Each structure stands twice: as C-alpha cells, then as structure tokens.
Amino acid sequence: MISIRHSELSPSIRNGRGAERRFHPVATRGNARDEGDHTGRWRPSLGAWIEGDGTRFRVWAPEQEQVEVVLYEHVLDGHGSYARNGRQEQVVPLERFHDGTWGGWIEGVGAGATYRYRLAAGAFPDPASRYQPEGVHCPSQVVDPRAFAWTDHDWRGVDHKDLVLYELHVGTFTQEGTFEGVARKLPYLAELGVTAIELMPVADFPGDRNWGYDGVDLFAPARCYGTPDDLRRLVDEAHAGGVAVFMDVVYNHLGPEGNYLPTFCPYYFSPEHENPWGKALNFDRERSMMVRRFFIENALHWVHEYHIDGLRLDATHAIIDDSGVQFVAELVARVRESVHGRRVYLIAEDHRNLSYMVRCEGEGGWGLDGVWADDFHHEVRVALAGDNEGYYADFDGSMTKLADTLNKGWLYSGQFSEHLNEHRGTDPQGIPPRRFVFCLQNHDQIGNRALGERLHHQIDPAMFRAASVLMLCSPATPLIFMGQEWAARTPFLYFTDHPEELGQLVTEGRRKEFRHFRLFADEAARESIPDPQSERTFLESRLDWSEPVRDPHMAMLWLYRTLLTLRRTEPAIRYAEVGSFEAFALSETTLLLRQDADIGPSLLAVIQMHGAGEVDLDGHPALEGLAFPRCQLVLTTEDPPFTTDPQPPQVDLVGRAPRITFIRPSAVLLRVLPDGDGLI
C-alpha cells in the first residue's frame, strides 16, 4: 500500500507559510557509506530521494493549485533497464509549502520507481529528475545514490599545479559512446599525463546525439551514455587511477525540446533579460531566489552524489544578473562551504576577461579557480592558420601580441574590440598563471567551424608540434581536446537529434549562420556544410582508435607524452608563479619562453613559429641573470621519436650563449644548469 505522511517532512519543509528565506544547502559531516559522499553529508531538497522505507518528493510549482505524484508500475529487465510493460497508475497528492514548493514522503516507493508530476495542464517529468530511462518526455525514475559502493574514500583531488585537462565528448570519444567506454580509456589517459578529464555536458537531452548544450534534465545523466551508476563507476575508476573528473554544466539556458521548467513555473525565465538562446534564466527578478536554489542544488548534486571534482561553467557571460550578489559568486561560495577534505574546482568559460572572477573573495572577487582564456587560442590560430574573420579580426597573430598574451594571461585588458564594438577586458596583474586555461583546440573552436576542422588539419605538422610546445610549456593550465594528442584525422562536427520539424530549423539555421564568411557566401557552398541532424555527421566525429598506434599519429602522441612528463618533472614549469615566467618576441617568427625555479634549473623554450630562421641569444635581455654556457639540450620537436620526417635545427651550445638555426617551424627546449653541473 502507498501512503503519504506529511508529518515526516523535514522541519525546513514543514515551516508553514512564513517569509521567504535565502537557500542554504545542507552539507554536514557524516558516514560516507550512508550518504554516498566521502566529503560530507549531502541532503537534496528538490526532486525525489530515498528516505527510510520510502521516497520524498519535492517540486517548485508556485502557480499551481494542485500537484500530484503519478506513480507507475514498472518492470526491470535482466540488466536493470526500464521496460515499458506492466503499467498501472497510482496518484498521490502533495502538500503545498510557503516557498511555492509541493512535497511529501510516500511509503513503499523505492529505487527504480517511475513517476511524473501531474499539474493542471497534464503530467510531466520531474524538473530535478535523477534519471530519464525512456527519454526527456517520459516518466522520471527514483535513484538511490547510496546503493553505489564507492572505493575512493582516500581521494583528495588533484593539486592545481598538476592539473592537465582533457576535454572529451562521451558519445564520440569511443566507438561505444558510453561512460563505460570512457572508463576503458582511463589507463591510456593516465599514461598520457592527463590528470583530469572534462566531460562535455552529460545532462539528458532530446534524442541520442547532441553536444550536450541542449540539456533539459539537468540532474539526470544522459540515458544514451549509460545509467547513473555507470557514471559513478567512471568517476570511481578515474579516482583509483589518479585522474579527476570535471563536468561541463550549463546554467545560462536550456534546450529547445523537452524543457518543462516553464510548465512548472514561469519565473524560471526572466521577463526582461535575453541572451543568444532567447529569454535568460531569472537570477535577479521576482522569485529568483528559488531559481538560484535550483541551479546551485544542481551543482551540489554533481559534486556530492557523483563525486565530481570540478565544474566548467558554460558561457557565464550569458548569465545575466543585476542583483547585489552575483549568482556565480554565490554558487562558488555554496560549493566551497559544502565540501570538506578534497579539492573541487570551479572554472568559467567567459570571453569578457574579467579579472575579479578569478580573484579570491578577500580581494573582492568571485573566487573561481580558473577561466578559459581564449585570447591565447585566437592569437595562435591567426599566427599559424591566418584566420581573420569574425572575432579573429581582433587579433593579428604577431609574436609581440602572442608574447603579451602569454605574459598577462589574456591580451585584451581594456582595449577596444572592433569585433564587439566596445572596450573589452580588465587588468589581470597578479593573477597566478595556472588560473588561465589555455588551449590549441576545444569543442567550440573546432565544432563551431563549418566543417569541424581541427587546427592540425589546416597547418603543417611541424607548426603544430611547435605550437604544442608553446602551450604545454607555458605556466597556464593546459586543456587538450580529445584526439589532439595524436593529431586525429577525424573532425569534430556540430550534431543534433531533434524531432523532424525542429531539426529542419536547426539545419537551416546552422548553414545560415555562415553566410557572412567568404567561403560560404554562396548558397551552394553552404549546402556543403554537414547536416547536424544526419547520423553520419555524428559518426564522422568519432575518434579512430587505430590511429594512435601507427605513424604519423604515434609520433605526435609521443611528443605529447614527453611534454606532459616535463610538466610534472621540471620544477620551473610545475611550480610556476607570478614573476617566474616571461615570454619574449625574438623576431617576427620566433618566441622565447623563460621559466625560473626557486630550486632547480631554469628552462628555455625557443619556438620558431614560421619558416626557417637563425637565433643568437648572446646579449639578449631575456637571458639576464642566467649563467652561460651551462645549457643542456632537453629536446627538439624534430627529434626522431616525434616525427617520421625529421629536419632537426642546429643547436650550438658551445659559445657565450645558445645559437640555433631552424630549418622549418620547430621548438628547442634548453635546461639552464646551475654552476658545477655538467656542460653540453
């Protein structure tokens, strides 16, 4: 028999109809096995969760006159998957509370039970559903996170100085396209030198193919990737191998298909603000406190119920908040106060170059651990591939500007942007270099190109090797996009799986957005842009895992492994701080990176970005204070392990200072030895 007992509601829920209060997520110390979290007890307040011998339900629907839970009989197959047969409805009314939520505890309902909430307009999935086994329009499923046997009780996370991010899309990373498939590649990633994988959004979305930014069930892992426990198992196995797991979360919009938030409450979206996806989420107007509560609870859900080590906050520049307490800053504070005993990172994607986002609260900042600093990518792309349309028009690719970007963390610190027609950026002085996330490739910079080309598809391999040294030997936190490390042949295209009518609009819109680019000014040329709705577009984006075991891909992979080993073992890179690094433009085609260490040798990277050239460092101010000729050659990117067609530069270390003759784009790494060490 199913019954509901309102007397069992927690005091915070039974508080009556008093004044609305600020949301304070519950996080208390407790038994890890009981609560599924080894860092502190996590108690949700939205959705459905197991409590005793029943399940507690709670949903925000302040405009509704009545809310009921519709429970379905269900059958599990031999693999624990939901089966369609055997349904019979049971309807249980919920009680309304002062904050506009409806809730109750229902005896006898356990893990695997499926349900919807019935409103005046019909029955709909839970906005905070933990799993949607049949898709975003179908019943939600009760999940018990305590049932998973975690083994990571001693895991404390990855130190910031050791952070190497590896962005991947679960569906295209392996042929399986599942959490389990990713887990099988963890030994490979650890051997590569990756210390954190960053999953593109996995919150459930319509259809079976999506980048993840059309997510609508923000608490539910996408069923096409696996079950909630499959994701937990991936995280647990990653931790066992010393690899952290980051997750990309989207708090600036929801997808166009299967978004039921407005059905439950119109206040989820702002009546005034808009962003590129339409109405912005409501973080600063009437009833915004409950909207903040929903999204902050989502962040805590991933951190506690899945032991996620970091959140990448998508496009925070599109989160519009005119209130006194910025939503992102509040989210950071709530996550910080809820976690004990391990390191959890919060990193923003934001093109505004706002230094206060990554300054600590004591300095008037938001306290984020990092920000995607795309100016580096843009300068490199312009320098090597010659892009000059769209936002690339703001960059000239000169060695001077590239050195400036490396030294500051970003280029624009208040200058006027022709592309945006406004001043952009703030002064980043004093920000530790590891708080800037640098990349040569990421999902946006590849997939938002019409044909999904990677940088190494459009430049000479020698140039790509040199650029890889530039990124991996800088003190910024590096981000590698899946397959970059072996110069994957496959593109990364934009793909979706929407219903036919919406899908047609997406295809037309995708092609239309490139009409201002010279290559696609002609309509016939735009027809060559792959159809996002086609399964072929998705399949072409899947990595080919036969590549990294054969040349030339294997040679590039060897270079990446070697460079990532150097990041771990060279004190000058690993312990880089403000003032210990400087980049110099030696010529119109050559850069020099100098990194000093309090203990251990300095490191020099001389990088020829274009063509041939000669470098004589004798008397150069970049070498001030360094004792020469005590230099040791660490590597060149033309060494035989790194290329099947070596054209090594001539490196002379005998004179007063190194002299290098480059035959083609390449990089030379030198270790400056203290007095008394061996000379080479």
Asked if 479 contacts 439 with a C-beta cutoff of 8 angstroms, the reply is yes
Beta strands in 465-561 (DSSP E): 477-481
Would you state the structure tokens that stand for residue 85, as one six-digit string?
Answer: 């047969």
Identify the helix (H) or strand (E) that includes residue 462.
helix 461-472
Would you state the structure tokens that stand for residue 536, as one six-digit string?
Answer: 């072929």
Identify the helix (H) or strand (E) that includes residue 33.
helix 32-35
How would you label 30-58 residue by residue, b for 16+ Cβ within 10 Å and e otherwise? eeeeebbbbbbbbbbbbbbbbeeebbbbb
- The answer to whether 314 is a known catalytic residue is yes
Q: What is the Cα–Cα distance from 297 to 330, expressed in whole angstroms?
A: 12
- The answer to whether 65 is a known catalytic residue is no
The DSSP code for 4 is: B
Name the nearest CA neighbour of 193 among 462, 472, 436: 472
The catalytic position among 126, 236, 248, 314 is 314
Name the nearest CA neighbour of 328 among 316, 340, 343: 316
Cα separation values, 175 from 172, 333, 447, 459, 544, Å: 7, 39, 19, 28, 8
Q: What is the Cα–Cα distance from 448 to 147, expressed in whole angstroms?
A: 40
The catalytic position among 37, 99, 305, 349 is 349
Which class for 8: exposed (0-12), middle (13-18), buried (19 or more C-beta within 10 A)? middle
Which class for 96: exposed (0-12), middle (13-18), buried (19 or more C-beta within 10 A)? middle
Q: What is the Cα–Cα distance from 275 to 408, expressed in whole angstroms?
A: 29
- Estimate the crossing angle of helix 288-305 against helix 327-338, to 10 degrees: 40
Beta strands in 426-552 (DSSP E): 436-439, 477-481
Asked if 377 contacts 440 with a C-beta cutoff of 8 angstroms, the reply is yes
Scanning 140-260, the segments in alpha helix (DSSP H) are: 170-173, 179-184, 186-192, 228-240
Catalytic residues: 314, 349
